[in-house]
């Protein structure tokens, strides 16, 4: 591997470590009650997951529209969403989406 690739690995690793370690290392005064986390922190996880979902699904949806196979894509997405709303289980939603996609092909 080249030196630039190793440098990228180190930078990515350092940034990943810092994003996880800094909240644990924040300054706390002895005897003072813990300050509650900022309100925006509760929305951060779902926002990141939504951004990842859009980044993954949008190219697939465009390819499905371009190839004329929107029906299997839409049925798979709807089945996954319905399973997620029903049970809140990502594994079940994945299986339901794949199964609906496969059955509609």
Is 91 part of a structural domain of the chain? yes
Is 52 part of a structural domain of the chain? yes
Is 50 part of a structural domain of the chain? yes
Cα dist from 19 to 14, 16, 44, 93, whole Å? 9, 5, 13, 29
CA distance 104 to 93: 16
Number of domains in the chain: 1
Is 16 part of a structural domain of the chain? no
Residues of the domain holding 57:
45-105
Per-residue confidence in pLDDT tens, the chain, 105 aa: 688 889 999 999 998 898 888 777 766 666 666 777 778 778 888 888 889 889 988 998 899 899 988 999 999 999 999 999 999 898 999 999 999 999 998
Is 27 part of a structural domain of the chain? no
pTM over 0.85: no
Is 78 part of a structural domain of the chain? yes
């Amino acid at each position: 591997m080249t030196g630039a690739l190793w440098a990228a690995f180190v930078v990515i690793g350092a940034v990943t470590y810092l994003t996880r370690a800094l909240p644990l290392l924040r300054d706390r005064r002895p005897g003072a009650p813990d300050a509650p986390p900022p309100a925006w922190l509760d929305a951060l996880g779902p926002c990141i997951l939504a951004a990842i979902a859009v980044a993954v699904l949008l190219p697939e949806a465009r390819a499905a529209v371009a190839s004329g196979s929107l029906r299997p894509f839409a049925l798979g997405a709807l089945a996954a969403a319905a399973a997620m709303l029903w049970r809140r289980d990502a594994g079940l939603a994945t299986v339901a989406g794949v199964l609906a996609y496969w059955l509609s092909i």
